[in-house]
Every structure is written in structure tokens, then in C-alpha cells.
């Protein structure tokens, strides 16, 4: 079974500084996607960034970037210039074909990030 591990239950960072959230995953497949989702206090799950496994270049979205190490099965999220609005639970997620038409998202347990003023 595919697993996603986020080893940091909680983290904190000062406003304007940089923080990195860790994620590792386990799969024997070669074709898959990786995601970081953000869940603020409203609890809506918001996509932060997506990485396709076949792409060697790390994905970036404004202040958010990833360090994708395919051989090590590692997928970390770096948040630059942290803002108070970045305070949220961050989930790492993994998607591959689970059979037929099912493309299942498997989530880690999350990292609660607090940005302090």
C-alpha cells in the first residue's frame, strides 16, 4: 500500500522568514503525482502546488517551491517570505492509478504551521 509520511506534526516560523516542510512517500510505481494542500482554519482544502513525477524540474508557485527527490522518495515544501495567512495545516498527498478508473489521493497526517508576527 502507498504511504505518505509527514514527520513534523507542528512547526513555527517568524513572519518573512523561510520554512521547509518534509514529506516522504512509498511507491513502486513510476507514474504518479505529488501535491501539497493547505487547510486553513476554515477547513477548506486548497491546492498549493503539484509535481508530476516524470518532470525533473521542481515545481514553483510564487513563494512556494518544492524539492522533489525521486530516488529518495522525498517531496519537501519550501515557503519563502512567510506571511500570517500561511498559518494552516499542510498536507502532502500522493496520487497514482489504483486500478481501473480510480486515481486515488493518499494523504499524510499533516503538519500544522504557525507563522508568528
Task: Enumerate binding residues for another protein (CB under 8 A).
Answer: 31-33, 35, 37, 42-47, 50, 52, 91, 95-97, 101-105, 107-110
Is-contact 78 19, C-beta < 8 A?
yes
Nearer to another protein, 18 or 31 (CB): 31
Q: How far apart are CA 29 and CA 48, in angstroms?
A: 24
Nearer to another protein, 68 or 91 (CB): 91
Q: How far apart are CA 110 and CA 117, in angstroms?
A: 22
Look at the chain and count its residues: 117
Q: How far is the CB of 51 from another protein (least distance, A)?
A: 11
CA neighbours closer than 13 Å in the CB half-sphere of residue 104: 12
Q: How far is the CB of 11 from another protein (least distance, A)?
A: 16
Q: How far is the CB of 23 from another protein (least distance, A)?
A: 12
Nearer to another protein, 32 or 75 (CB): 32
Is-contact 28 94, C-beta < 8 A?
no
Amino acid at each position: 500500500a502507498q504511504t505518505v509520511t509527514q514527520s513534523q506534526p507542528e512547526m513555527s516560523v517568524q513572519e518573512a522568514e523561510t520554512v521547509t516542510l518534509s514529506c516522504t512517500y512509498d511507491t513502486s510505481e513510476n507514474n504518479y503525482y505529488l501535491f501539497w494542500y493547505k487547510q486553513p482554519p476554515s477547513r477548506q482544502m486548497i491546492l498549493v502546488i503539484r509535481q508530476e513525477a516524470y518532470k525533473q524540474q521542481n515545481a514553483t508557485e510564487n513563494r512556494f517551491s518544492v524539492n522533489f527527490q525521486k530516488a529518495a522518495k522525498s517531496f519537501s515544501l519550501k515557503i519563502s517570505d512567510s506571511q500570517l495567512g500561511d498559518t494552516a495545516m499542510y498536507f502532502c498527498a500522493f496520487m497514482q492509478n489504483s486500478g481501473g478508473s480510480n486515481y486515488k489521493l493518499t494523504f499524510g497526517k499533516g503538519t500544522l504551521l504557525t507563522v508568528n508576527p
